[in-house]
Amino acid sequence: MDALKVASTPPFDHPGLRKNADGSYEADYVAQVFMFSPSKLTIPVGSKVTFYVTSADVVHGFEIAKTDVNMMAIPGWVNNATHTFDKAGTYLLVCNEYCGIGHQNMYATIEVK
Ligand code: CUA
């Protein structure tokens, strides 16, 4: 996948949450300096979510605190990881790979309720 065409390549042209036929979810994320799209996601407690992530520019991290989701967002590549959210709460998605001046402000939230 061409990193320069992320914004026009499905499903990353419309980042966000999709429900699968079996009741699980797919969440498609784009990382770019210094934000994640979507910046906020709300999912029902108990949901099994597979996260797909790519980068539109440089290498970023994709770590969801309090879960085992920890991968890299790489330009030209799609990584994925699956987690079942058994506990309600607000989960912080952070970039854990230094990516520039705004690195420490690069995060998103996932609301589980
Ligand atoms: Cu993106 Cu650090």
Place of tokens 């520039």: 100
pLDDT of residue 31: 98
**pTM score:** 0.96
Per-residue pLDDT tens digits for 54-107: 999 999 999 999 999 999 999 999 999 999 999 999 999 999 999 999 999 999
Q: How many CB atoms lie within 10 A of CB 5?
A: 12
Residue 21: pLDDT over 90:
yes
Please tell me if the CB atom of residue 99 comes closer than 6 angstroms to any atom of ligand 1: yes
Amino acid occupying residue 59: V
Protein residue with its CA nearest to atom 1 in ligand 1: 60
pLDDT confidence band for 34 (50 / 70 / 90): very high
- Greater pLDDT, 7 or 30: 30
